[in-house]
Amino acid sequence: MSETPRIVYCNCTYAKVVPPEVKGEVLRRLCASGAEFEAVADLCDLSARNDPALKRLAGGGPVKIAACFPRAVKWLFHAAQAPLPKEGVEILNMRERSADDVSRALLGGAP
Partner 1 sequence: MSGALRIVLYEGPGAVPLAEEERFQTMAALLNGGFEVARTRVVDAAAQLVLGKFENGGPALPAAAQRRDISGLEPAQVVESARETRDQAGARKLEAWKPWFPVIDYDRCTNCMQCLTFCLFDVYGVDQQQKITVQNESNCKTDCPACSRVCPEVAILFPKYKNGPINGDVVKQEDVQREAMKVDISALLGGDLYGSLRSRQADARKRFSTERDESKALLERKRCLKELGKQLDIPDEVLMSLPSAEDISERAERAKAKLAQRQARSQTVKDTRPAPSDKEWGI
Q: Which is nearer to partner 1, 1 or 15 (CB)?
A: 15
Minimum distance from CB of 109 to partner 1 (Å)? 19
Q: Which is nearer to partner 1, 17 or 100 (CB)?
A: 17
Rounded to whole angstroms, the Cα distance separating 11 from 33 reads 18
Residues forming the site for partner 1 (CB under 8 A): 11-15, 17, 24, 27-28, 30-32, 35-53, 56, 68-73, 75-76, 78-79, 95
Sheet containing 6-10: order of strands: 6-10, 63-67, 89-93
For residues 92 and 22, the answer to whether their CB atoms sit within 8 Å is: no
